[in-house]
């Protein structure tokens, strides 16, 4: 709220077309939402975010778990991870587009590949800290692999998974915009490129604001309730 106020005052003082007031941006957001463009582009982008996020989290968690549990695998893949971790997102996206074409699966996978290594690294830390005593308990009581994963391993990884999910969502939606800007003909990234060419800062900020609202809604509506649920056993 304080931020919005500061923005409003600064913009009114500047009085420039390049820094629209907060009220103008909100009004534009409502206008764009009413026309349907905003919701369409936002929806497309969110779908891409969701797909990339799901791939990065599932594969990253599986990889991180395997790396944390098996040392030889960790040694074999460690340098690969460092390469992927330090590969600029832009380079990875351009290479993927060049190799596999300007299509939807390539876009989604390119984004997922940008996030996957950091998920794997975070989960690996969690997997290294797994409680051996509980694993032995599960083994001696002959719990199956799936039951062990679900009831013994994953609950211990929850804090790491939440950390990976939060930072992941933030990074992924930024990268999705780049992917859209470079090689898609719809989505928030595509729209922003259009408005960039027109120097339409009001619309650019309206899209940004809309996305921030969505992310905040996910935080309040999904992560926090989910976190409360999985942490219900903590005193």
Partner 1 sequence: MILEVAIRHKGFGAGKAARPVLADLAFSLGANEIVAVVGPSGCGKTTLLRLIAGLDAAFEGHITWPGLARPRLGVVFQEPRLLPWRTLWENLALVLPPGQEGAAEALLHRLGLWPHRDAYPGQISLGMARRAAIARAFAVAPDLVLLDEPFASLDAANAALGRAILLETWCARPTAALLVTHDLLDAAALADRVLILAGPPSRIAAEIPIAPDQRRNDAASAERLATSLRAAIAKGAISGS
Is 71 an interacting residue with respect to partner 1 (CB under 8 A)? no
Closest CB 164 distance from partner 1, rounded Å: 19
How many other β-carbons are positioned within 10 Å of the β-carbon of residue 92?
A: 17
Closest CB 133 distance from partner 1, rounded Å: 5
Residue (135 or 182) nearer to partner 1, CB: 135
CB 67 within 8 A of CB 120: yes
**Spatial distance between the Cα atoms of 44 and 13, rounded to a whole number of angstroms:** 36
Closest CB 139 distance from partner 1, rounded Å: 6
Closest CB 73 distance from partner 1, rounded Å: 21
Judged by CB under 8 A, the chain residues 134 through 193 that form the site for partner 1 are: 134, 136-137, 139-143, 147, 151-152, 155
CB 187 within 8 A of CB 41: yes
Residue (61 or 114) nearer to partner 1, CB: 61
CB 203 within 8 A of CB 32: yes
**Spatial distance between the Cα atoms of 45 and 206, rounded to a whole number of angstroms:** 15
Residue (153 or 177) nearer to partner 1, CB: 153
Is 235 an interacting residue with respect to partner 1 (CB under 8 A)? yes
Closest CB 233 distance from partner 1, rounded Å: 4
Q: Which residues contact 231 (CB under 8 A, 6 or more apart)?
A: 158
**Spatial distance between the Cα atoms of 52 and 165, rounded to a whole number of angstroms:** 12
Two structure tokens written together for 62 = 């599986």
Closest CB 137 distance from partner 1, rounded Å: 4
Q: What length does the chain have? A: 235
CB 234 within 8 A of CB 155: no
DSSP 3-state of 87: coil
Residue (89 or 230) nearer to partner 1, CB: 230
Residue (79 or 140) nearer to partner 1, CB: 140
Burial class (CB in 10 A: 0-12, 13-18, 19+), 174: middle
CB 179 within 8 A of CB 189: yes
Give the residue, chosen from 2, 15, 133, 225, that forms a contact with partner 1 under the rule CB under 8 A.
133
Residue (138 or 204) nearer to partner 1, CB: 138
Mask: binding to partner 1, 25-64, rule CB under 8 A, as x and -?
----------------------------------------
Is 226 an interacting residue with respect to partner 1 (CB under 8 A)? no
Contact set with partner 1 (CB under 8 A) = 133-134, 136-137, 139-143, 147, 151-152, 155, 230, 232-235
């Amino acid at each position: 709220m304080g931020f919005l106020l500061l923005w409003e005052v600064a913009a009114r003082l500047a009085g420039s077309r390049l820094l629209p007031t907060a009220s103008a941006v909100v009004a534009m957001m409502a206008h764009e939402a009413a026309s349907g463009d905003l919701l369409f582009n936002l929806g497309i982008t969110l779908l891409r975010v969701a797909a990339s996020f799901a791939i990065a989290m599932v594969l990253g968690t599986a990889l991180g778990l395997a790396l944390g549990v098996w040392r030889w695998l960790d040694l074999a893949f460690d340098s690969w991870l460092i390469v992927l971790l330090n590969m600029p997102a832009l380079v990875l996206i351009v290479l993927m587009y060049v190799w596999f074409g300007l299509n939807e699966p390539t876009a989604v996978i390119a984004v997922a590949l940008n996030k996957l290594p950091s998920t794997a690294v975070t989960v690996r830390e969690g997997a290294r800290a797994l409680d051996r005593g509980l694993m032995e308990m599960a083994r001696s009581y002959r719990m199956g692999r799936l039951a062990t994963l679900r009831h013994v391993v994953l609950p211990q990884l929850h804090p790491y998974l939440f950390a990976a999910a939060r930072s992941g969502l933030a990074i992924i939606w930024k990268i999705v915009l780049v992917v859209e800007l470079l090689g898609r003909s719809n989505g928030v990234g595509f729209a922003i490129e259009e408005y960039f060419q027109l120097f339409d800062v009001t619309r650019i900020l309206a899209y940004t604001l809309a996305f921030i609202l969505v992310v905040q809604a996910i935080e309040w509506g999904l992560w926090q309730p989910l976190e409360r649920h999985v942490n219900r056993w903590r005193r």
